[in-house]
Structure 1
Amino acid sequence: MGRLRWNADKQYRWRFGTGRWWIFFAGGVAVVALVKGFALTHIFPHQEERSLPVHVVVEEEQQLPVAASKAESPAQIRKGQSDKNVSTGDKLSSYDRLRVQVYLATDKRMEKLPIELYVRGVLAAEMPIEFELEALKAQAIAARTYIYRRLYAGENDGLPPNAANADVTDSVKHQVYLSLNELFSRWKGEQKKVNLNKLNQAVEETKGQIITYGNEPIQAAFFSTSNGFTENAADYWSMDLPYLRSVASPWDKDLSPRYKEITTFKLSDAAERLGVKANEIRSMRVIETTEGKRVKEVAIGKKRFSGREVREKLGLASSQFNWTIEQEFISITTYGFGHGVGMSQWGANGMAKEGSTAEQIISHYYTGTQVEQASKLPIPGSS
């Protein structure tokens, strides 16, 4: 907030103790109270009983320095420690006491906030607000599962050296997240109210819900657009997870604007990125495809590459691709956008348009999983 500057040359000067000063002071306090009351009742709607008290949200908006101490771990909270709502004296649940510390890479600062508000920030950043409510709810459950699992496992991969106390960053290394400031300045007027209400509804109607397999939170991978199928985790990453299996996702083709893309390179540029000779690219061929219809392995000269390697080295949208070569140029056509593992966001929206619920969407994309309340899970490491 900008500072008011007192100009000694003005005809009217402000002096402490004058009647006019106290009148304006009292008026300012009244305006602040009215604005704060409006924000609490319109921007942060009341949540169900035993949910995080609304006023705590405002307290959590303060920005913490990067060197701030780490919040209590979930394990500490789950051991029976309790905290109280300073306004009402009511005990908060263990789940409501969870805090997420997000390192905002661009601003180089930390934002600490309740887990449900973190989920809202991820939802706003990761999925278009125009999507169906049930698709947004499915995304909220997946985002909540990701951070809940990470907190309990105590994972700290992907954090920069100057953010060792953070839980996650706001980038694609973890989950993209919109800070509180960004979220509240993203829309204007009536559209802001409508969109915030929609985000709040998606988060509140799934409060505390996470995806489990074998009574444990899953690796809730998700991506933008499928090529018509999702990918086995083992075919893209070096891990075989029973709930990340290839399933059909036919909705993306008709809905997603990123279903098909064509990227053109000079042969010399493509060769340099791949570390091969330009003439060898002319004889590039697919050796094997995956269950998800993507390229598993290609041969270029004497070298072999996984489809993922080609995608990442050339910056392609997907690992399903074909190509044509004309003179000194190669044009590569990709289908789908993203790694292809887990839930397709555009596919989820397609399912929602056809009447599927969030739980049905989750069940389709995460094989053999359940949606349940985090509070019902056993404490990790307990017997």
Structure 2
Amino acid sequence: MSKFARRCAALMLAVVLLCMAVPAAFAAEGDTLPAGATTMGGANTTLIPDEEENCLSWLFGSGDTITMPYLNVKGQGLRRNVTLDLEDCLVGITYTELGSIGSYVSDAAAQQAWKAQAVAIHSYLEYHKKYGSSANALVYTPVDQIPSSARSAIRRAVSEVKDEVLTCNGSVIDAVWSASAGYNTQTGVYGTCSGLDAWGTDVPYLQSVESPYEEQYHNLMRRIIGKDYRYIEYNDSKTGQPYESADTTHKDLGGFVQYNTFVSNGKSYRYIGQFVSSRYCFDFSADENGTPCMNYYGFGHGVGMSQCGMVGYAQEQGMGYRDILRHYYTGVSFGTVGSGSSNGGLFGWLWSLLGL
């Protein structure tokens, strides 16, 4: 069949199917939503009934919405099969993660940081959707609960990047991030933790990279993060004895050590006291009285993008969101999960067939 003939056939098929489907889609326009369909708050954040969502997605694609098998919703807890407007979803999670950072960095820097965070969030969501895993570590703040000035500023950033995702070798990446990375007293360098050191898996795009603004911007972002960057512990929580020594030979760039390589006072540990994760970034010193103590740094697993480092790069170096993301995720490219009929659904297939 010639290209012209294929296009004619596709047009005829589109007309027939549109005549059949559109009346059905609009027939129940005045009906009430089925049980379980609730409003999340804010513009276009109604949970879309499965029947309507499936029909519309079949016709037009679903790039403008995103459905997560599980998502934590602020004030509502963990919800199942949540469908949200994509932009609202990214605005709500970005606000949860970074808050109103425009109050202590320039508007230009805040815009780039919010964009970087939104692209990482979108990539993370798409990755976990693709592999059927849970993204319930994220919390969506319904947009009508976000202060209007912050909501407007974050939406301005998100609207420009909402379709963008990070890819590696053609696949969307698991774009993990943490509040702040660590500090390596052996090298004097702040930096992130590699996937290999954190979880024992060498992921090409999750390598250790420098991140020089960790403590500086953690102190500014404490109102969001809620905990100090630096912790001090005096005694081994297993034995009650002061720390004396530790195996530090497995430290990566940011000073993190793999969970099963930490040895203190001749004993191996995974979790010690108030460590925030099973990845350790630490050194030993003494307090003003000479009591031996352990200092450890950072908040979270330290892998992937550091939020404190990201904000610092945007503010101190004027770095754009794409350069920030390329720095923290090694070797990635940018792709799109597009919105509109040309990227999904029946009409997306037809548009592709027509060469449009």
Cα distance, 1:246 vs. partner? Answer: 0.8
Alignment check: 8 A CA contact 1:226 1:335 kept: yes
Q: Which of 319-328 and 109-118 deviates more?
A: 319-328
Structure 1 position 135, deviation (Å): 0.8
Looking at structure 2, the residues matched to 127 and 374 of structure 1 have their Cα atoms a distance apart, in angstroms, of 23
User: Deviation string for 1:312-334 (max 9, x for gaps)?
Assistant: x5334872112346799764322
Report how far residue 153 of structure 1 moved: 1.7
Counterpart mapping for 1:81-230 below 5 A = 81-82=58-59, 92-100=60-68, 102-104=71-73, 107-108=76-77, 110=79, 112-131=83-102, 132-156=110-134, 168-169=135-136, 174-178=137-141, 180=142, 183-187=143-147, 192=148, 194-227=149-182, 228-230=190-192
| Aligned with 1:262 (options 199, 223, 231) | 231
Q: CA deviation at 1:207?
A: 1.9
CA contact (8 A) 2:112 2:321 kept: yes
Instruction: Using the TM superposition, give the Cα deviation of residue 337 of structure 1 relative to its aligned residue in structure 2, in angstroms.
Output: 2.1
CA contact under 8 A between 2:194 and 2:207: conserved in structure 1? Answer: yes
Q: Structure 1 residues 283, 343: CA separation in 2 closer, same or farther (over 3 Å shift)?
A: same
Quick one: which amino acid aligns to residue 305 of structure 2? M
- Over residues 252-294 of structure 1, what are the superposed CA-to-partner deviations in whole Å (9 max), with x where a residue is unaligned? 24332167423345x3xx433xxxx334x54442242322222
Give distance in 2, aligned partners of 1:377 and 1:231: 36
**CA separation of 1:211 and 1:62: change in aligned 2, threshold 3 A:** closer
How has the CA–CA distance of structure 1 residues 58 and 184 changed in structure 2, closer, same or farther, with 3 Å as cutoff? closer
* Structure label with greater radius of gyration: 1
Distance verdict in 2 for CA 1:329–1:367, change over 3 Å: same
Aligned equivalents of 1:99 and 1:369: distance in 2? 25
Q: Percent identity?
A: 22
Cα distance change of structure 1 residues 215 and 337 upon mapping to structure 2, 3 Å threshold:
same
Specify whether residues 70 and 245 from structure 1 end up closer, same or farther in structure 2 by C-alpha distance, changes over 3 A only: farther
Within the candidate set 323, 340, 348, 2:284 is matched to: 323
* Equivalent residue, structure 2, for 1:351: 313
CA RMSD of aligned residues (A): 3.6
Shift of 1:214: 0.4
Offset, 1:302: 4.5
Normalising by structure 2, we get a TM-score of 0.65
Q: Which has the higher contact order (CA 8 A, sep 6+)?
A: 2
**Bigger mean CA deviation after superposition, 239-248 or 327-336:** 327-336
* TM-fit CA distance, 1:69: 9.4
CA contact (8 A) 1:262 1:333 kept: yes
SS in 2 for 1:367: coil
CA distance in 2, matches of 1:230, 1:152: 26
Counterpart amino acid of residue 371 in structure 1: F
Alignment CA distance shift 1:93-1:63 (3 Å): closer
Go from structure 1 to structure 2 and tell me whether the alpha carbon gap of 1:142 and 1:319 turns closer, same or farther (over 3 Å shift).
same
C-alpha distance in structure 1 between counterparts of 2:266 and 2:302, whole Å:
28
Q: Find out whether 1:365 has 2:339 as its counterpart.
A: no
Distance 1:315 1:212 in 2: 32
Q: Which residue of 1 aligns with 2:204?
A: 242
- For residues 53 and 291 of structure 2, the distance between their equivalents in structure 1, rounded to whole angstroms, comes to 54
Provide the C-alpha distance between the structure 2 equivalents of 1:373 and 1:251, rounded to a whole number of angstroms: 30
Q: SS in structure 2 opposite 1:288?
A: coil
Shift in alpha-carbon separation, 1:59–1:285, aligned structure 2, 3 A: closer
Cα deviation, 1:332-357, whole Å, max 9, x if unaligned, reads 32222221111111111122122211
Q: Report the CA distance shift for 1:282/1:139 in structure 2 as closer, same or farther (over 3 A).
A: closer
TM-score (structure 1 length as normaliser): 0.61
CA distance in 2, matches of 1:145, 1:205: 15
Q: How many equivalent pairs are there?
A: 272
Q: Following TM superposition, by how much is the alpha carbon of 1:108 offset from its aligned partner in structure 2, in angstroms?
A: 4.4
Q: Distance in 1 between matches of 2:290 and 2:53?
A: 56
- In 1, Cα distance between the equivalents of 2:343 and 2:292? 52
1:103 CA displacement: 4.1
Task: Give unmatched runs, 5+ long, in structure 1.
Answer: 1-55, 83-91, 157-167
Give the stretch that moved more between structures: 214-223 or 319-328.
319-328
On the 8 A contact 2:63/2:344 being kept in 1, the answer is: no
Q: CA deviation at 1:104?
A: 3.5
